[in-house]
């Protein structure tokens, strides 16, 4: 189910995990008028040229221990929490409108919220709302009925065996096609099943115990539950061994394997594809993309070797795992015990109202977002944001025009691609139609299933149709931004266009160091190790000369090597290949935003504010949006599943490559924040 808490309560900022927390002190007018830099966040005992992250954020880190209900406590949680407070007010008003027009978004939002907040009824029901689904699983007696049940569960948002949806055809970006991909795992990714270090083995043991505990909550005897948990682990391990790793999933060429019906039958003859497509409501499915053919070969094998009783046990687990956050307190507590305490180190679960805001945003985020922007995003913010974006695009265009390592041929295509960027700011130009979604004040889990089934069919109904380029991949209240290579677009939801990222009361140094870097980050994603493989129309197509490709790869490898050396804890290092694209974008975003800032009157004046030059305030603004305290377990999890480095490396890593940073702070050769000559990474 989409709204399910998997391993962390997330809201991504340019792809980085942030976790909402109790409201911190907002940026005051006094701070904003002095440049928007809070000097109490600094640690004067640390030298800027030794560890800029601790220099800029050490004071903040000392004053902000991690609350028990969070795996991480970040400096800009105030923004996510402010947004959550705003959404709560909207939802409580909607729920109180008993006379809301039936089938209106107001009625559906209010009823979803009310059903989520009705803890008394949820606890009284326990797992009873799932009884019909468990009965369906019990009635599986043939391979054909097994596959039909898998398809049925997938329509409800249950991650059973594999995933299916729609996507742009990577080589014909104007059309949507069906897409089948690996899935069906309860642990964060496939490496959790295969790594042999002591910590990974311990997590697997705790996971099996967790699965058994869930079966016991369903009424199984301890010995039966333990046996069933072992069965689940066996099937998931087989699926994991055939799955691509997070690094392998970053290669778009390897994920493009278009198949017609004959090709699907040849790939996995044990799967009745006709029955599957009929069950999900699309019997006339044409060609689809298969992301990981080797995975489906293993699924084909398992369908013929694993007994039906084992498959039925596995499906019961996938159902209860998906539904657990929607059920009574014992299920919620056991779910949190593993996904919160074990995987992230979090000690307490979030209050129900915060979980309900998140769930409602997941279920009807565009309807909720339509109300959010009316109160949180004035037209003036959109206009100023557009001006900054255009400024940075012009800066990147100038940079592309003078790059010494890029040939005229590649340069021409790069500039053409940049000029065709679609810019989406704040909210969509048209709002989503939720008329087919039925929500009431009945069992909360039923509403969760209804929302996921609506979304499943909404996605599948795109297959075979032209791409809707007005559609957004994030809801307006989301604290995030993204670049989509198939759409060739940069997108900035209203949720992130608030302090500390975007502060109309702050000076240019702060805004360029914060939201300006976010803009530059997303812009340069179009030319990172993945984005550069797509052309101006969003097609997977090479437009680089062989020599330019070699030069780019050599520069990108510099960043990979740098991040491979960063120590997270003990023997665990950052995975340079996993974080390659985001680290390229961080360095590119900083470089482009700083160059654009230098064109402003404030930068040219070199006037000190609060004792800092404009350049120094730019770099402080960047560092201070990444201030955070992170639990060791959560840091370990992020290092294995997230394509973004940890915050301290996102600050010190790219800045140590920038001569402009060293000049601003008077850093010299030999200082820790200055990489030795010949080792500094530079792309843009």
Q: Sketch out the chain's domains with CATH numbers.
A: 128-326 (1.10.1380.10)
Residue 28 has pLDDT above 80, yes or no: no
- Comparing CA positions, the residue from 509, 628, 526, 545 lying closest to residue 584 is 526
The pLDDT value given to residue 14: 54
**Beta carbons of 650 and 82 less than 8 angstroms apart:** no
For helices 580-597 and 614-624, angle between their N-to-C axes, nearest 10 degrees? 150
**Beta carbons of 617 and 600 less than 8 angstroms apart:** no
Beta bridge partners of 332: none
The whole-number average pLDDT for the span 141-148 is: 96
> What sign results for the dihedral spanned by CA atoms 141, 142, 144, 147?
positive
pLDDT in tens, 501-517: 888 788 999 999 999 99
- Return the structure tokens found at 130: 């799932």
**Beta carbons of 291 and 258 less than 8 angstroms apart:** no
The pLDDT value given to residue 75: 77
The whole-number average pLDDT for the span 445-454 is: 98
The pLDDT value given to residue 17: 39
Question: Of the ranges 92-96, 97-101, 350-354, 437-441, which one carries the lowest mean pLDDT score?
Answer: 97-101
The whole-number average pLDDT for the span 300-310 is: 97
Beta bridge partners of 73: 629
For residue 155, the SS3 value is helix
Neighbouring C-beta atoms of residue 595, cutoff 10 Å: 18
Question: Residue 476: left (phi > 0), alpha (psi -120 to 50), or beta?
Answer: alpha
The pLDDT value given to residue 426: 95
The pLDDT value given to residue 461: 97
Give the integer Cα–Cα distance in Å for 164 and 288.
Answer: 10
Confidence of residue 81 (pLDDT cuts 50, 70, 90): confident
pLDDT in tens, 158-210: 999 999 999 999 999 999 999 999 999 999 999 999 999 999 999 999 999 99
Confidence of residue 10 (pLDDT cuts 50, 70, 90): very low
Residue 27 has pLDDT above 60, yes or no: no
Neighbouring C-beta atoms of residue 91, cutoff 10 Å: 24
All residues at 6 or more sequence positions from 622 whose CB lies less than 8 Å from its CB, including other chains: 513, 514, 517, 590, 651, 655
Confidence of residue 621 (pLDDT cuts 50, 70, 90): very high
Residue 618 has pLDDT above 60, yes or no: yes
The two beta strands, 288-290 and 72-74, are unpaired
In 97-173, where does DSSP find H-type helix? Answer: 105-117, 119-125, 131-138, 143-155
Residue 12 has pLDDT above 60, yes or no: no
| Residue 410, H or E segment | helix 408-419
Give the integer Cα–Cα distance in Å for 408 and 387.
Answer: 29
> Peptide bond preceding 500: is omega within 30 degrees of 0, i.e. cis?
yes
Percent of the chain with pLDDT over 70: 95
pLDDT in tens, 591-614: 999 999 999 999 999 999 999 999
What single-letter DSSP state applies at residue 430? Answer: S
Beta bridge partners of 484: 489
- Comparing CA positions, the residue from 322, 287, 283, 257 lying closest to residue 148 is 283
- Return the structure tokens found at 334: 């056991």
Confidence of residue 35 (pLDDT cuts 50, 70, 90): low
**Beta carbons of 359 and 448 less than 8 angstroms apart:** yes
Classify each residue of 489-501 as buried b or exposed e, where b means 16 or more C-beta atoms within 10 Å of its C-beta: bbbbbbbbbbbbb
- Return the structure tokens found at 625: 């949006």
The pLDDT value given to residue 499: 82
Residue 281 has pLDDT above 80, yes or no: yes
Confidence of residue 302 (pLDDT cuts 50, 70, 90): very high
The pLDDT value given to residue 498: 85
**Beta carbons of 449 and 363 less than 8 angstroms apart:** no
For helices 308-323 and 143-155, angle between their N-to-C axes, nearest 10 degrees? 10
Q: Three-state secondary structure along 213-225?
A: HHHHHCCCCHHHH
**Beta carbons of 66 and 629 less than 8 angstroms apart:** yes
Beta bridge partners of 424: 491
Residue 407 has pLDDT above 60, yes or no: yes
What single-letter DSSP state applies at residue 626? Answer: T
CA of 648: how far to CAs of 53, 62, 652, in Å? 6, 15, 6
The pLDDT value given to residue 36: 73
The two beta strands, 482-484 and 72-74, are unpaired
For residue 283, the SS3 value is coil
All residues at 6 or more sequence positions from 4 whose CB lies less than 8 Å from its CB, including other chains: 157, 322, 324, 325, 326
**Beta carbons of 214 and 334 less than 8 angstroms apart:** yes
Question: Residue 546: left (phi > 0), alpha (psi -120 to 50), or beta?
Answer: alpha
Q: Per-residue DSSP letters for 526-573?
A: TTSTTGGGB-TTS-B---S-HHHHHHHHHHHHHHHHHHHT-EEETTEE
Mean pLDDT of the chain: 92
With 0-12 / 13-18 / 19 or more C-beta atoms within 10 angstroms meaning exposed / middle / buried, residue 219 is exposed
All residues at 6 or more sequence positions from 340 whose CB lies less than 8 Å from its CB, including other chains: 5, 71, 346, 349
Give the integer Cα–Cα distance in Å for 612 and 294.
Answer: 56
């Amino acid at each position: 189910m989409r709204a399910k808490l998997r391993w962390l309560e997330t809201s991504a900022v340019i792809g980085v995990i942030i976790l909402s927390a109790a409201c911190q002190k907002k940026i005051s007018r006094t701070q904003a008028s002095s440049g928007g830099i809070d000097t109490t966040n600094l640690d004067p005992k640390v030298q800027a040229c030794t560890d800029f992250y601790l220099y800029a954020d050490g004071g903040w880190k000392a004053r902000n221990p991690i609350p028990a209900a969070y795996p991480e406590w970040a400096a800009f949680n105030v923004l996510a929490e402010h947004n959550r407070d705003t959404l709560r007010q909207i939802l409580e008003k909607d729920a109180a409108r008993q006379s809301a027009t039936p089938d209106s978004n107001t009625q559906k939002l209010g009823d979803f919220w009310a059903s989520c907040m009705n803890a008394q009824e949820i606890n009284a029901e326990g797992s009873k709302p799932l009884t019909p689904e468990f009965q369906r699983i019990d009635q599986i007696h043939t391979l054909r009925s097994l596959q039909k049940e898998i398809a049925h569960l997938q329509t409800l948002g249950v991650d059973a065996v594999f995933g299916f949806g729609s996507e742009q055809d990577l080589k014909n970006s104007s059309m949507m096609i069906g897409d089948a991909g690996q899935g069906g795992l309860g642990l964060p990714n496939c490496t959790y099943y295969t790594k042999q270090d002591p910590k990974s083995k311990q997590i697997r043991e705790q996971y099996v115990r967790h699965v058994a505990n869930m079966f016991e909550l369903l009424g199984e005897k301890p010995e039966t539950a333990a046996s069933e948990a072992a069965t689940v682990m066996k099937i998931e391990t087989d699926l994991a061994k055939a799955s691509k790793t997070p690094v392998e999933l970053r290669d778009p060429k390897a994920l493009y394997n278009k198949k017609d019906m004959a090709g699907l039958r040849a790939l996995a003859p044990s799967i009745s594809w006709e029955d599957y497509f009929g069950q999900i409501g699309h019997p006339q499915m044409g060609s689809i993309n298969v992301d990981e053919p080797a995975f489906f070969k293993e699924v084909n094998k398992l369908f013929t070797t694993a007994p039906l009783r084992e498959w039925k046990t596995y499906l019961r687990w996938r159902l209860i795992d998906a539904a657990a956050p929607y059920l009574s307190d014992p299920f919620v507590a056991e779910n949190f015990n593993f996904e919160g305490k074990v995987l992230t180190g979090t000690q307490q679960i979030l209050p129900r109202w915060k979980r309900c805001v998140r769930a409602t945003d997941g279920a009807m985020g565009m309807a909720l977002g339509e109300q959010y922007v009316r109160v949180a995003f004035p037209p003036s913010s959109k206009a100023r944001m557009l001006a900054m974006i255009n400024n940075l695009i012009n800066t990147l265009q100038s940079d592309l025009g003078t790059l010494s390592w890029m040939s005229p041929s590649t340069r021409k295509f790069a500039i053409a691609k940049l000029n065709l960027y679609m810019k989406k700011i704040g909210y969509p130009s048209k709002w989503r139609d939720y008329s087919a979604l039925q929500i009431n004040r009945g069992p909360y889990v039923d509403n969760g299933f209804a929302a996921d089934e609506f979304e499943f069919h909404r996605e599948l109904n795109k297959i075979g149709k032209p791409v809707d380029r007005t559609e957004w991949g994030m809801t307006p209240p989301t604290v995030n931004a993204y670049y989509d290579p198939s759409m060739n677009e940069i997108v900035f939801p209203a949720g992130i266009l608030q302090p500390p990222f975007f502060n109309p009361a702050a000076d240019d140094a702060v805004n360029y160091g914060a939201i300006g870097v976010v803009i530059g980050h997303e812009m340069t994603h179009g030319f990172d190790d993945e984005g550069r493989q797509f052309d101006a129309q969003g097609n997977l197509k090479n437009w680089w000369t062989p020599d330019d490709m070699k030069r780019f790869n050599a520069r990108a490898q510099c960043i990979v090597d740098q991040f491979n050396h960063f120590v997270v804890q003990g023997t665990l290092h950052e995975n340079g290949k996993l974080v390659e694209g985001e680290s390229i974008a961080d360095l590119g975003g900083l470089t482009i935003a700083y160059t654009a800032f230098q064109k402003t009157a404030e930068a040219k004046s070199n006037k000190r504010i609060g004792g800092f030059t404009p350049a120094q305030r730019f770099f402080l603004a960047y560092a201070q949006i990444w201030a955070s305290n992170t639990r060791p377990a959560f840091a370990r999890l992020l290092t294995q599943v997230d394509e973004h480095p940890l915050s301290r490396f996102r600050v010190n890593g790219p800045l140590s490559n920038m001569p402009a940073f060293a000049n601003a702070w008077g850093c010299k050769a030999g200082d820790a924040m200055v990489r030795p000559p010949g080792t500094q990474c530079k792309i843009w």
